[in-house]
Amino acid sequence: MRLIVGLVITVAALAIALNRALFIMKLVRSGAKAPNRSSTIASRISTELTEVLGQRKLLAKTIPGIAHFFTFWGFTILIATIIEAYGALFQSNFAIPLIGHDSWLGFIEDFFSVAVLVSLVVFSIIRVINAPKKKAKASRFYGSHNSAAWLVLAGIALVVITLLVYRAAQVNTGDFPYSNFAFASHLIANALAPLGHSANSAIETIFLLGNIAIIMGFLVFVTYSKHLHIFVAPINIAFSRRPKALGALDKTPNMDPEELSEDSVFGVGKIEDFSWKQLLDLVTCTECGRCQEQCPAWNTQKPLSPKLLIMDLREHLFESSQRLLTTTKDSGTTQVLQEPKMLVPSVIDPDVLWSCTTCGACVEACPVDIEHIDAIVDMRRYQVLMESDFPSEAQGMLRNIENQGDPWGLGSSHRGDWVSELDFEVPIITNEIPEDIEYLFWVGCAGALDERARKVTQSIARLLHRSGVTFAILAKKESCTGDPARRLGNEYLYQSQAMTNIETLNSAKAKKDHSLLPSLL
């Protein structure tokens, strides 16, 4: 009887979960192409080892990190107990090679069962201390689906409790394969022993079926909740940008005029303009709030939370699923079933979009390597390049870069002024860098033109000079790298600045560059 009940529950749950998994897979695959996501295999394998198996980013927060480490490994190791549970449906003294024989496995299973229960207590305490009701926006859980999170904690607890109780009953019925190294099972067995053999036999059946039912229910729940990350996080991490999730932005489709067509879309205006990797990011979010907690915009009362931005986009993705997945062929043309919404302003408020400083703290903090900045900059690119709709404060700055080569419009003629206050001569490159000069010193707009930043530039020049390093500058031949334009979404201006600067550097024939600007690299 217990075999039939167990198998019916399993088949029904697997059918629902598989159906949902296929739906999510199709939804993610409906995204646009994502470049550079499968190269550098060695780096991807090492990231899986450190970030997934080693839980590196989660351990940045020690206490929740350790609790998550034990929960992750507990779930991995408890796969053996799932095999044992299904085996017990068929045969009371079930055993296969490795499972059902050695005391060490019984000990490890019990150890991780207890470790998971302790971790759940830790998670609960963290959630109570940081409850949004108490801390409002200062809580990293503000805006997350907190009831679902409590449900998941309760579900995991029930999985472990039913497991330990049916194992304890097995000890008393003589069906348990492990010695008293399985300390927790034997401890509970002592408490159940006075109930007698037949009661323990009934307890074994009820809790064994309960264990299977809860695992299967949990599996279904996971595929419909943020806990989907259990399955998709390792995949998202495998396809994250290498060598780090926080790295150079991808280009919006090549802006070479010869490659453009009437259908070219710059950036992301609708949900389907996101790449499949960006859609995978959306379904992977665990709502942990680590990004929100680090975001300078959120911490200075701006409307932007990287977590809420990802959650809003995810909700819109699921709302749009019918349109993305269902098309009807009508007289050879594809007819869409729902009107697409423009992401800005329908899903993401413009104030949210323009509050981002592109500092990267969110990407750095995210334990599942979600690339928030790519999504934000892609939506900005659409606003700037397709809609010409961006904050008025940015207009002057972009015009200055385009016309004067710096964000303030001070002009290139002042770029070499800072050298006049030095007590040694700094050569200025007019054509090619002289043979006897080792470095080209790229100063940057602020370093050359901003009063305070100039002092930094002068100090660095003095250090180089005193160290005997020979260097020269480009002065008025230098121009803005275009980095501020790129962060604002004006990829066209960025690319044209980048091309101009590449030509300048090539014509100077510099072999070694020194710069204050990471963006130059």
Q: Which residues bind ligand SF4 (CB under 6 A)?
A: 285-291, 294-297, 304, 306-307, 310, 356-362, 365-366, 368, 370, 372-373
Measured from the CB atom, is 130 or 358 closer to ligand SF4?
358
> Could you tell me which of 296, 294, 271 has the C-alpha nearest to residue 281?
271
CA dihedral 176, 178, 179, 180 (to 10 degrees): -80
φ, ψ at 415 (rounded to 5°): -65, -25
Continuous H helices in 1-56: 2-29, 41-47
Q: Are 291 and 306 in contact (CB under 8 A)?
A: yes
Nearest-approach distance from CB 281 to ligand SF4, in angstroms: 8
Measured from the CB atom, is 108 or 131 closer to ligand SF4?
131
Task: Round the CA-based radius of gyration of the chain to a whole number and report it.
Answer: 30
Measured from the CB atom, is 290 or 415 closer to ligand SF4?
290
Tokens of 234: 């390792």
Strands 512-515 and 439-442: parallel
Measured from the CB atom, is 233 or 493 closer to ligand SF4?
233
Nearest-approach distance from CB 359 to ligand SF4, in angstroms: 4
Measured from the CB atom, is 397 or 440 closer to ligand SF4?
397
Measured from the CB atom, is 17 or 373 closer to ligand SF4?
373
Q: How many angstroms separate the CA atoms of 468 and 86, rounded?
A: 74
Phi-psi region of 302 (alpha: psi -120 to 50; beta: other; left: phi over 0): beta
Nearest-approach distance from CB 310 to ligand SF4, in angstroms: 5
Nearest-approach distance from CB 442 to ligand SF4, in angstroms: 25
SS (H, E, C) 159-209: HHHHHHHHHHHHHHHCCCCCCCCCHHHHHHHHHHHHHCHHHHHHHHHHHHH
Query: Three-state DSSP class for 514?
Result: strand
**Residue type present at position 41:** I
For tokens 């928030």, what's the residue?
372
Measured from the CB atom, is 245 or 448 closer to ligand SF4?
245
Cross-strand partners of 472: 440
How many Cα atoms are found within 13 Å in the side-chain-facing hemisphere of 275?
21
**In sequence order, which residues have a C-beta less than 8 Å from that of residue 505 and are 6 or more positions away?**
440, 513
Q: How many angstroms separate the CA atoms of 312 and 277, rounded?
A: 17
Nearest-approach distance from CB 398 to ligand SF4, in angstroms: 19
Q: Are 281 and 370 in contact (CB under 8 A)?
A: yes
Nearest-approach distance from CB 18 to ligand SF4, in angstroms: 25
Measured from the CB atom, is 217 or 360 closer to ligand SF4?
360
Measured from the CB atom, is 356 or 472 closer to ligand SF4?
356
Q: Are 265 and 386 in contact (CB under 8 A)?
A: yes
Nearest-approach distance from CB 169 to ligand SF4, in angstroms: 39
Q: How many angstroms separate the CA atoms of 126 and 185, rounded?
A: 28
> Could you tell me which of 451, 434, 459 has the C-alpha nearest to residue 510?
434
Specify burial of residue 305 (Cβ count, 10 A radius: 0-12, 13-18, 19+): buried
Q: Are 343 and 379 in contact (CB under 8 A)?
A: yes
Measured from the CB atom, is 141 or 439 closer to ligand SF4?
141
Nearest-approach distance from CB 312 to ligand SF4, in angstroms: 12
Measured from the CB atom, is 285 or 426 closer to ligand SF4?
285
Query: How far is the CA of 307 from the CAs of 86, 99, 187, 311, 346, in angstroms?
Result: 39, 42, 43, 6, 18
Count CB-CB contacts under 10 A for residue 349: 15
Nearest-approach distance from CB 361 to ligand SF4, in angstroms: 4
Distance from the Cα of residue 271 to its chain's centroid: 18
Tokens of 67: 């609790």
Measured from the CB atom, is 188 or 310 closer to ligand SF4?
310
Nearest-approach distance from CB 47 to ligand SF4, in angstroms: 15
Nearest-approach distance from CB 182 to ligand SF4, in angstroms: 35
Measured from the CB atom, is 356 or 488 closer to ligand SF4?
356
Nearest-approach distance from CB 203 to ligand SF4, in angstroms: 39
Q: Are 100 and 87 in contact (CB under 8 A)?
A: yes
Nearest-approach distance from CB 32 to ligand SF4, in angstroms: 21
